[in-house]
């Protein structure tokens, strides 16, 4: 098992996944406290790919019922920090 990641490390991973899925996004320019969907053209197929990366790379299985709460980068990082396997 990998060592526990800090919040900054989780944030860096989240931004890199977003950049992989939507390369035209300037991930560093995104406001972490504002809606991702409103700042990007991410659609439901992109979001499913993103959630799949969280599952495959970080071992976090996000149930569909939690999708709605993952609408900003800050909320995604907080969620992952809580759910990541120690």
Which residues have CB under 8 Å from 18's CB, separation 6+? 25, 27, 30, 36, 40, 42, 50
* CB 12, min distance to another protein, A: 21
Q: Which is nearer to another protein, 3 or 45 (CB)?
A: 45
24 binds another protein (CB under 8 A): yes
| Contact call for residue 52 and another protein (CB under 8 A) | yes
**Any idea what the Cα angle at residue 44 is, between residues 39 and 49, rounded to 5°?**
95
> Is there binding between residue 26 and another protein (CB under 8 A)?
no
Residue pair 18/11 in contact by the 8 Å Cβ criterion: no
Contacts with another protein, residue ranges (CB under 8 A)? 22-24, 37, 41, 43-45, 48-49, 51-52, 54-56, 61-64
């Amino acid at each position: 098992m990998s060592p526990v990641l800090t919040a900054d490390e989780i944030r860096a991973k989240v931004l890199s996944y977003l950049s992989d899925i939507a390369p035209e996004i300037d991930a560093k320019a995104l406001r972490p406290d504002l809606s991702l969907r409103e700042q990007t053209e991410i659609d439901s197929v992109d979001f499913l790919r993103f959630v799949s990366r969280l599952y495959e790379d970080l071992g976090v299985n996000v149930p569909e019922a939690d999708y709605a709460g993952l609408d900003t980068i800050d909320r995604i990082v907080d969620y992952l920090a809580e759910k990541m396997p120690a």
